[in-house]
Amino acid sequence: MKRILCLLALTTLLAESAWPNGTNDNQSVTEQTVDAPARVVVIPIEGMIERGLLHVIRRGLDEARADETTAVVLDMDTPGGRVDVTESIMRLMLDLPEELQTFTFVRQDALSAGALIAVSTQNIYMAPGSRLGASAIVGAGGDIEEGDMKEKHVSALVALVRAAANANGHDPDLFESMIRRDMEYEIDGDVIVPAGQLLTLSDYEAKRMVGTNDVQRPLLSRGTVQSIEDMLSHAGIENYTLETITPTSAERIARWIEMFAFLFLAGGLLGIYIEFRTPGFGIPGITGIILLGIFFLGHRIAGLAGDWQLIVFGLGVMLLLIEIFIIPGFGITGISGMILMLVAIFFSMASPLPETDGPWFEIPAVDVQRALLQMALTFVFTLAGGALLSSYLPKAIGFRNLVLETALTGRTYDPPEPTGTDEPQPPPLQEGDEGITVTELHPSGYARLNNQRVGVIAQGSFLEKDTPIKVVSVQGNRIVVSKRASQKETA
């Protein structure tokens, strides 16, 4: 019996030595059959669609391409936004690799531009009570102009939308009826939306099954789900990890600046306009430069302003500061600085969007038109605001502490005591008139010239109080003075 047991043990040992890796191979096969979790990148699209958001979406899609990603989800709740940005996002989505699944989850609203972005994804799901549609092109003041110009914009947009719908298995006519008000959309004789109305679908309407009894499909939405996790489960993606692209602090700031870009631009120009119209301490001009800097900073953070625009803008700011604090009067230095700043701002508004690989000077005509229109509206606002402030602000007590009051002769006077008789008007100041400073000039302040208290600007350097001065020039409402050669000339 012992011999039999020994023989069996020897046989088992020889069998294991003949296939030494058998157990490890089985373990390797088992390990290879366990799939790694799929990577799903979620990109939130919330609020207005503007150029600051485009930078976030582009960053998210670049990350999705760089790593092993199974799906990209656009988590959407937007009332719409800029058409040019919408078209850029659509092209970015259409350029994704074919093996990458794309989803839109309409959390609440995908209206206007949001609906057009959704068509660039393969799968659309909607949350209960959500809406999608109403994508007509409108301008800042409502519906855009009629005629050939409107049709030109609409036709170009419809062509891109139909191409995206065909690429992702959606009905092109469905989305065109969201853009064209005069288009009727029907399926199997059932009018979904009559002519004269824009198509907007609720989640219940979007998941309606259409087609024949043999071949049926959802009208648009593949289902109504509560969350992204439910959507992925419905799509058959079970083993996955979610990675949400969170906007950085700088990107959030850039989006806010972009949304209020007109106010920053108009306020900045208005401040500089007031600075050149009044011989003030420089607060309006400095405020204007700060507002223009904030405007430019937002475009810079969002990648919409390049290095050369930054250099040109910085040079313009330097020249303007030199004009305000060093060189008195309104001269070529300040004008040159203002022009350089406006050039940098214009090209930051009209520059190609981040996904464009062409040189900076290849700017689409529509971007140039939009930038010119925005600049023109800003100038109109600046001139109107400047005229209003020129009429009312000098009368305000608080404003008198910031700028010097001016008369038509370019001087300011102490209010005379009423005498009941007509007082003779003081003669206009001329070059060579002498006096003394009654305040410090940094470079603006007050002086007494010809027995009158006058607002003046120092030439070349700051002057202390009680410094003997003489008039160098009278430039409209600006009186430029310099220090006299000796104390003996004091008036």
DSSP states of 383-429: HHHHHHHHHHGGGSHHHHTTS----TTS---PPPPP-SSPPPPPPPP
Q: Do 94 and 213 share a domain, yes or no?
A: yes
Rounded Cα distance between 458 and 440, Å, is: 10
Report the share of the chain in percent with pLDDT over 70: 71
The whole-number average pLDDT for the span 328-338 is: 72
Rounded Cα distance between 92 and 57, Å, is: 9
The answer for residues whose C-beta is within 8 angstroms of residue 376's C-beta and 6 or more apart is: none
Buried b vs exposed e over 383-412: b needs ≥16 C-beta within 10 Å? eebbeebeeebeeeeebeebbbebeebbbb
Q: Do 198 and 347 share a domain, yes or no?
A: no
Rounded Cα distance between 318 and 322, Å, is: 6
Weakest mean pLDDT among 397-406, 412-421, 457-466: 397-406
Rounded Cα distance between 249 and 247, Å, is: 7
Q: Is 318 inside a domain boundary?
A: yes
Residue type present at position 164: A
In the listed set 182, 213, 247, which residue is the last one of a domain according to the structure? 247
Weakest mean pLDDT among 19-28, 111-120, 288-297, 442-451: 19-28
pLDDT score of 30 more than 60:
no
pLDDT of residue 76: 97
Where is mean pLDDT largest: 83-87, 304-308, 355-359, 455-459?
83-87
**What's the chain's average pLDDT?**
76
Q: Do 293 and 273 share a domain, yes or no?
A: yes
Q: Do 263 and 275 share a domain, yes or no?
A: yes
The whole-number average pLDDT for the span 345-366 is: 57
- Does residue 284 or residue 278 have the better pLDDT? 284
Q: Do 156 and 241 share a domain, yes or no?
A: yes
pLDDT band for position 287 (50/70/90)?
confident
- Does residue 363 or residue 323 have the better pLDDT? 323
Angle in degrees, CA 136, 137, 139, rounded to 5: 135
Q: Is 3 inside a domain boundary?
A: no
Task: Retrieve residue 122's tokens.
Answer: 């393969």
Q: Do 173 and 47 share a domain, yes or no?
A: yes
Q: Do 207 and 285 share a domain, yes or no?
A: no
pLDDT of residue 355: 45
Weakest mean pLDDT among 318-327, 339-348, 366-375: 366-375
Q: Do 83 and 220 share a domain, yes or no?
A: yes
Residue 42 pairs in a beta bridge with 73, 244
pLDDT band for position 108 (50/70/90)?
very high
Q: Is 33 inside a domain boundary?
A: no
Q: Do 243 and 257 share a domain, yes or no?
A: no
| Structural domain range at position 286 | 250-399
Q: Is 425 inside a domain boundary?
A: no
pLDDT of residue 332: 79
pLDDT of residue 321: 75
pLDDT score of 405 more than 60:
no
Rounded Cα distance between 367 and 352, Å, is: 8
For the segment 424-462, what is each residue's pLDDT rounded down to a tens digit? 666 788 888 888 998 877 677 788 888 888 888 887 667
Weakest mean pLDDT among 26-30, 186-190, 236-240: 26-30
pLDDT band for position 311 (50/70/90)?
confident
Beta-strand relationship, 216-218 and 209-211: antiparallel
pLDDT score of 330 more than 70:
no
Q: Do 233 and 269 share a domain, yes or no?
A: no
Residue 452 pairs in a beta bridge with 449
In the listed set 184, 218, 247, which residue is the last one of a domain according to the structure? 247
Q: Identify the CATH number of the domain in which residue 475 sits.
A: 2.40.50.140
Judge whether 257 and 294 are in contact, CB under 8 Å.
Answer: yes
pLDDT of residue 491: 40
In the listed set 247, 272, 290, which residue is the last one of a domain according to the structure? 247
Q: Is 420 inside a domain boundary?
A: no
Q: How many domains does the chain have?
A: 3
* CA count, 13 A, side-chain hemisphere, 305: 26
Q: Is 5 inside a domain boundary?
A: no
- Does residue 465 or residue 52 have the better pLDDT? 465
pLDDT band for position 370 (50/70/90)?
low
pLDDT band for position 358 (50/70/90)?
very low
Q: Do 240 and 376 share a domain, yes or no?
A: no
Q: Is 14 inside a domain boundary?
A: no
pLDDT score of 144 more than 80:
no
Q: Identify the CATH number of the domain in which residue 227 sits.
A: 3.90.226.10
Q: Do 159 and 238 share a domain, yes or no?
A: yes
Q: Is 413 inside a domain boundary?
A: no
pLDDT of residue 419: 52
